[in-house]
Amino acid sequence: MTQNHDFITNVIQALNHPFYVIDADTYVVRMANTAAYTGELPEGITCYALTHHQSAPCDRFGEICPVAEIKRGKQPLLVEHLHYNAEGHCEALEVHAFPIFDADGQVIGIIEYTLDITERKEAERLKDEFIAMVSHELRTPLHHIKGYATTLLQTDVVWDAATQWDFLSSINREADRLSDLIEKILDLSRLEAGLAPMEREWYQIADLVDGALMGRRGLLATRAIEVDLGPDLPALFVDGREIELVLSNLIENAAKYSAEDTPIKIGALREADQVILSVADQGIGIPKEHQGRIFERFYRVPRAGPQLPGTGLGLAICRRIVEAHGGRIWVASKPGSGSCFYASLPVDVPGP
Q: Which residues make up the interface to ligand ADP (CB under 6 A)?
A: 249, 253-254, 257, 281, 283-286, 294, 299-301, 310-316, 339
Smallest distance from the beta carbon of 134 to ligand ADP, in angstroms? 14
CA angle 177, 253, 201 (to 5 degrees): 100
Q: Which is nearer to ligand ADP, 313 or 329 (CB)?
A: 313
Smallest distance from the beta carbon of 181 to ligand ADP, in angstroms? 9
CA angle 74, 76, 77 (to 5 degrees): 110
Q: Which is nearer to ligand ADP, 65 or 185 (CB)?
A: 185
User: CB within 8 A of 223, min separation 6: which ones?
Assistant: 255, 260, 263, 264
Smallest distance from the beta carbon of 236 to ligand ADP, in angstroms? 23
Nearest to 339 by CA among 298, 279, 299: 279
Q: Which is nearer to ligand ADP, 42 or 309 (CB)?
A: 309
Smallest distance from the beta carbon of 263 to ligand ADP, in angstroms? 13
HEC sequence for 276-308: EEEEECCCCCCCHHHHCCCCCCCCCCCCCCCCC
Q: Which is nearer to ligand ADP, 96 or 300 (CB)?
A: 300
Q: Which is nearer to ligand ADP, 99 or 312 (CB)?
A: 312
Cα–Cα dist 45/33, whole Å: 14
Q: Which is nearer to ligand ADP, 30 or 293 (CB)?
A: 293
CB of 255 within 8 A of CB of 219? Answer: yes
Smallest distance from the beta carbon of 147 to ligand ADP, in angstroms? 22
Smallest distance from the beta carbon of 319 to ligand ADP, in angstroms? 9
Cα–Cα dist 163/82, whole Å: 59
E strand or H helix that includes residue 32: strand 29-32
